[in-house]
């Protein structure tokens, strides 16, 4: 049952990621990225990360991707133009990508023998209660630092995106 769940959503995630790389229009890439994020949220749930799964859907698939789609619509982004220099990518890049991934898979299996098997409910520590307790005790300083980071990012984004005075 866990295996079916994993395989289904892993195939969806990889398919959407391949579609993201191959699509020419940014809006198709954005929709594919939302597919990847949603299927990763299911895999987080399988690994017992309830809070992270919810945050993945709300923050990533919700807020960040809405920002992306908003900018794509605002700039009226068109599909990218074809250029004739992609033969190297097609005949050398794709085989070497497949070779690299197979080598990486063999290496991960060799270094990390799959003694442990993940199953749903095998680890239930990722509740908002546990995450929140750790966030406000051991990781309090990084948490406060991220609030400063977010504030700087907001101010910077507003300053960068403003209209010039002369326009």
Partner 1 sequence: MTGVPLSWFLILSAVLFSLGVAGFLIRRSVLTVFMSIELMLNAVNLSFVAFSYQLKQVNGHLFTFFVMVVAAAEAALGLAIILAVFRNRGTLQVDEVNSMKN
Question: What part of residues 55-94 is at the interface with partner 1 (CB under 8 A)?
Answer: 55-56, 59-60, 63-64, 67-68, 71-72, 74-75, 77-81, 83, 86, 89, 93
* 165 lines the binding site for partner 1 (CB under 8 A): no
Give the CB-side neighbour count of residue 67, counting CA atoms within 13 A. 7
Question: What part of residues 102-131 is at the interface with partner 1 (CB under 8 A)?
Answer: 104-105, 108-109, 112-114, 116-119, 122-123, 125-126, 130-131
Question: What part of residues 12-31 is at the interface with partner 1 (CB under 8 A)?
Answer: 13-14, 17-18, 20-21, 23-24, 26, 29-30
CB of 34 to partner 1, least distance (A): 10
Closest CA to 27 of 59, 60, 63, 75: 75
């Amino acid at each position: 049952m866990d295996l079916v769940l994993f395989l289904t959503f892993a195939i969806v995630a990889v398919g959407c990621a391949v579609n993201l790389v191959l699509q020419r229009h940014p809006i198709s890439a954005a929709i594919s990225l939302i597919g990847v994020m949603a299927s990763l949220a299911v895999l987080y749930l399988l690994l017992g990360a309830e809070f992270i799964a919810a945050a993945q859907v709300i923050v990533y698939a919700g807020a960040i991707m809405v920002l992306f789609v908003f900018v794509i619509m605002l700039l009226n982004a068109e599909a990218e133009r074809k250029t004739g220099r992609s033969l190297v990518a097609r005949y050398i890049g794709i085989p070497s990508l497949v070779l690299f991934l197979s080598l990486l898979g063999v290496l991960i299996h060799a270094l990390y023998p799959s003694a442990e098997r993940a199953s749903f409910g095998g680890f239930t520590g990722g509740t908002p209660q546990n995450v929140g307790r750790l966030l406000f005790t051991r990781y309090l300083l990084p948490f406060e630092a991220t609030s400063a980071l977010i504030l700087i990012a907001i101010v910077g984004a507003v300053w960068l995106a403003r209209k010039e005075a002369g326009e």
